[in-house]
Amino acid sequence: MDKIWVGMLISGLIALVLTLIVILSRDKIYLPKLFQSFIDIQINSIAILLSFSIAVITVLVTSDSNNIIQLRKEHVDTNKSKRNNIKITLFNLLMINITYNIVVEVFYFLFLIIQIFLQYLVCDNLIIILLATNIFFLSHILIVLLESVREIYLVFWPNK
């Protein structure tokens, strides 16, 4: 199973559990206020994560480290490269993962901005669905970002 699908499965389970908690405590919380606060926090958080991801790409592209030079030379066999007969370097694979994360972060950021206006037009049941979707996106972004940071850390780890 691909890492992305495993990450999506874990994100889905996190979203499901947290949404069930919200549904079970629905009579104790004021859902629109919770949703508004969550959106406000998420817009700031995703903007910071997006900036971090772009900074990581900048560091990788501008780095003259021997490890980065080696990454640009080493090829890797992936399922996609085998299907398309394309040789992908480890550097390209790392850039693809980080670029994927940036695309998801931008999509989620735009989705959050739309929700600022949408929250006044929808009922509580739809707010719960939007909340579950937001939790899914947030956990997926964090899982992919942690994986990318782990890969970058291993790249710059000194080989002794």
Q: How confident is the model at residue 1 (pLDDT cuts 50, 70, 90)?
A: very low
Mean pLDDT of 91-112: 91
3-state class percentages of the chain: helix first, strand second, coil last, to nearest 5: 80, 0, 15
pLDDT tens by residue, 106-139: 999 999 999 998 888 888 888 888 988 998 899 8
Question: Which segment of 4-8, 9-13, 144-148 scores lowest on mean pLDDT?
Answer: 4-8
Tell me the mean pLDDT in the region 44-63: 90
What is the percentage of the chain residues whose pLDDT exceeds 90? 21
What pTM does this model have? 0.80
What is the C-alpha separation between 38 and 32, in angstroms, rounded?
10
- The mean pLDDT of the chain is 83
Full DSSP string of 14-70 = HHHHHHHHHHHTTTTS-HHHHHHHHHHHHHHHHHHHHHHHHHHHHHHHH---HHHHH
Nearest-angstrom CA–CA distance, 15 and 9: 10
Looking at residue 103, its pLDDT comes to 95
120-157 in b/e form (b: 16+ CB < 10 A) is eeeeeeebbebbbebbbbbbbbbbbbeebeeebeebee
